[in-house]
Amino acid sequence: MTSVTDTASSLDQEHHHGPAKGLMRWVLTTNHKDIGSMYLWFSFIMFLTGGAMAMIIRAELFQPGLQIVEPAFFNQMTTMHGLIMVFGAVMPAFVGLANWMIPMMIGAPDMAMPRMNNWSFWILPFAAVMLVSTLFMEGGGPNFGWTFYAPLSTDYSPPSTTFFIFAIHMLGVSSIMGAINIIATILNLRAPGMTMMKMPMFVWTWLITAYLLIAVMPVLAGAVTMMLMDIHFGTSFFNAGGGGDPVLFQHIFWFFGHPEVYIMILPSFGIVSAIIPAFARKPLFGYTSMVYATASIAFLSFIVWAHHMFTVGIPLIGELFFMYATMLIAVPTGVKIFNWVTTMFRGSMTFETPMLFSTAFVVLFTIGGFSGLMLSIAPADFQYHDTYFVVAHFHYVLVPGAIFAIFAACYYWLPKWTGYMYDETLAKVHFWMSFIGMNLTFFPMHFVGLAGMPRRIPDYALQFANFNEMSSIGGFMFGTTQLLFLFIVIKCIRGGAKVEAKPWEGAEGLEWNVPSPAPYHTFTTPPDVK
């Protein structure tokens, strides 16, 4: 019987020397690095696509009374922007990073199921094209928000909704296959001697994320299947007129939707847990507590979904349960924040671009966490619900939380991927422009939200004009800056200063963030920070 290693090496030889040349090399590849690269490029294309839609939204909201697009098209943009950023940009980027790094981190020759890996990637471009193509169909694309609440998405939706449902199904199939592959790889292909509690934090966070994906993607599939039945087959799952319940849709959707936001944040925790120790020149503080905190967050994410639904009229006891369960998530998250800060404490820190993005992540993600804590308070949520305060909250979690972490990972591992060093000066410009643009865009949204400005509306009252102008300027600044990132990456791939085996000076042995063999109390502080 052939061993996994033999199979992988034969696949690798076939990949490099066989008939698969040129374009077909990428179509047929089973190499985890090639597939990781394709995921990352795909996600960046989707990031620019979803970002262009955000630019249309911000242009429309630049000043009140300025109608540069039709309200119906504005609704399509808010819907597609959310769907593309979640399913097209953030999730594939993390899967790409997992493909590239997990086999190398655990000493595996490749992913456990290389051919399934190829398939799970190639489903994505077709799903994305189908999703975007709905915009060009009769009646326009989905116009019911990225949460596609029924009955708006079933009884009053454009004909393209059927294609949207199929695209969501395909995206879900891809995610489930990727997750199965990651679990199989981590559990079966670790190098001898690498026990679970010696795995790098990035591997741990992805293992837990993969279980979340397998648990919740079928729930989303169930929701869109019921939508399909309501639209075409005369059922009334969500139609009150036929004995159904529109609130049922929200329960099913958010049972998927809340763990989904942790799927988009847990891999970030792993990335930051690799970068901060490397640039602080000391081991990650509290490795074991980080593992347990990640698992606790994943478990709690399943019992808080109805905090998205405080305004639907759930019983008081339900509001209390979901309020306290939501607040409880702050505890393991706080453990992680304090561990990162303690790792930095008295370290010999230097601030190369990956560390800049990681420290910005810690600070800004914490702000997003605090506004989330405000939203968890049930009676207060009646005021905040569906205002721009909610938009500010989740963008403070997802832009610094997911996107900054992805940037940090790309800068941190680009030298390893390409053999060349990226342009550090340009990268720092990219960081500061992104940092300023992001805060200028989303911080004012807290204020207009608290003042009562509703979300997903193409026009607004005069008193919100100044803050919206600031948000739009920040949005265009953030958006155009990402073209600089594209330039930096291409410049790095094409060549530059060759890197040594360990590109980050002074971070020896900490790149993979494996717990130090020495007990923590014997770890001495570097002489230059005493």
Q: Is position 371 annotated as part of the catalytic site?
A: no
Who's near 366: CB < 8 A, 6+ residues apart? 337
Residue 512: is its pLDDT beyond 80? no
Q: Name the active-site residue from 260, 319, 352, 511.
A: 260
DSSP state letter for 116: H
> Which whole number is the average pLDDT over 326-351?
97
Mean residue pLDDT of the chain comes to: 92
Task: Give the Cα separation of 293 and 329 in Å (integer).
Answer: 9
pLDDT, residue 519, reads 36
pLDDT, residue 1, reads 42
- Are 206 and 99 spatial neighbours (Cβ–Cβ below 8 Å)? no
Q: Is position 133 annotated as part of the catalytic site?
A: no
pLDDT tens across 395-410, in order? 999 999 999 999 999 9
Task: Give the Cα separation of 528 and 198 in Å (integer).
Answer: 29
Q: Could you tell me the domains of the chain? A: 29-239 (1.20.210.10), 265-516 (1.20.210.10)
Task: Give the Cα separation of 349 and 351 in Å (integer).
Answer: 7
Residue 368: is its pLDDT beyond 50? yes
What does residue 144 show for φ and ψ, rounded to 5 degrees? -115, 20
Q: How far is CA 417 from CA 203, 322, 421, 431, 515, in A?
A: 18, 44, 10, 21, 24
Q: Which of 175, 142, 513 is closest to 358 using CA atoms?
A: 513
Q: Name the active-site residue from 34, 60, 110, 511.
A: 110
Task: Give the Cα separation of 201 and 287 in Å (integer).
Answer: 8
What does residue 490 show for φ and ψ, rounded to 5 degrees? -65, -40
Q: Is 189 helix (H, G, I), strand (E, B) or coil?
A: coil
Residue 509: is its pLDDT beyond 60? no
Q: Name the active-site residue from 81, 282, 393, 430.
A: 81
Q: Is 49 helix (H, G, I), strand (E, B) or coil?
A: helix
Residue 511: is its pLDDT beyond 50? no
Q: Is position 232 annotated as part of the catalytic site?
A: no
Q: Is position 258 annotated as part of the catalytic site?
A: yes
pLDDT tens across 239-285, in order? 999 999 999 999 999 999 999 999 999 999 999 999 999 999 999 99
Q: Is position 505 annotated as part of the catalytic site?
A: no
Task: Give the Cα separation of 195 and 187 in Å (integer).
Answer: 10
pLDDT, residue 124, reads 98
pLDDT, residue 525, reads 39
State the amino acid at position 437 in one-letter form. Answer: G
pLDDT tens across 133-154, in order? 999 999 999 999 999 999 999 9
Task: Give the Cα separation of 488 and 483 in Å (integer).
Answer: 9
The crossing angle, in degrees rounded to 10, of helices 114-133 and 71-83 is 170
Q: Name the active-site residue from 206, 254, 262, 396.
A: 262
Q: Is position 424 annotated as part of the catalytic site?
A: no
And the tokens for 524? 């001495």
Q: Quick one: what percent of the chain has pLDDT higher than 90?
A: 89
Q: Which residue has the tokens 């008939």?
A: 19
What does residue 498 show for φ and ψ, rounded to 5 degrees? -65, 140
Reduce the secondary structure of 452-504 to three states and give it as a string: CCECCCCCCCHHHHHHHHHHHHHHHHHHHHHHHHHHHHHHHHHCCCECCCCCC
Task: Give the Cα separation of 353 and 433 in Å (integer).
Answer: 12
Q: Name the active-site residue from 307, 393, 395, 446.
A: 307
pLDDT tens across 171-183, in order? 999 999 999 999 9
Q: Is position 17 annotated as part of the catalytic site?
A: no
Residue 524: is its pLDDT beyond 70? no
And the tokens for 138? 């009769």
Task: Give the Cα separation of 279 and 272 in Å (integer).
Answer: 11
> Which whole number is the average pLDDT over 307-329?
97
Who's near 517: CB < 8 A, 6+ residues apart? none
- Are 47 and 446 spatial neighbours (Cβ–Cβ below 8 Å)? no
> Which whole number is the average pLDDT over 188-201?
96
Q: Is position 10 annotated as part of the catalytic site?
A: no
Q: Name the active-site residue from 333, 376, 387, 472.
A: 333
Q: Name the active-site residue from 258, 282, 393, 395.
A: 258
pLDDT, residue 528, reads 45
526: confidence class by pLDDT, cuts 50, 70, 90:
very low
Q: Name the active-site residue from 146, 149, 417, 460.
A: 146
Q: Name the active-site residue from 134, 175, 185, 326.
A: 175
345: confidence class by pLDDT, cuts 50, 70, 90:
very high
Q: Is position 287 annotated as part of the catalytic site?
A: no
> Which whole number is the average pLDDT over 322-347?
98
pLDDT, residue 38, reads 98
- Are 255 and 306 spatial neighbours (Cβ–Cβ below 8 Å)? no
Q: Is position 174 annotated as part of the catalytic site?
A: yes
Residue 503: is its pLDDT beyond 50? yes
Q: Name the active-site residue from 32, 169, 282, 308.
A: 308
Residue 313: is its pLDDT beyond 70? yes
Higher pLDDT, 500 or 514: 500
Q: Name the active-site residue from 29, 49, 174, 481.
A: 174
Q: Which residue has the tokens 């291409």?
A: 490
Q: Name the active-site residue from 251, 385, 416, 455.
A: 455
Q: Is position 206 annotated as part of the catalytic site?
A: no
Q: Is position 425 annotated as part of the catalytic site?
A: no
> Which whole number is the average pLDDT over 219-238?
97
Q: Name the active-site residue from 32, 282, 336, 395.
A: 336
Nearest-5° angle of CA 48, CA 213, CA 300? 110
Q: Compute the Cα dihedral for 398, 401, 404, 408 and give only its sign.
A: negative
Residue 426: is its pLDDT beyond 60? yes
pLDDT, residue 506, reads 56
Task: Give the Cα separation of 98 and 173 in Å (integer).
Answer: 17
- Are 327 and 373 spatial neighbours (Cβ–Cβ below 8 Å)? yes
The b-or-e profile of 491-516 (16+ CB within 10 A means b, else e) is ebeeeeeebeeebbeebeebbbbbbb
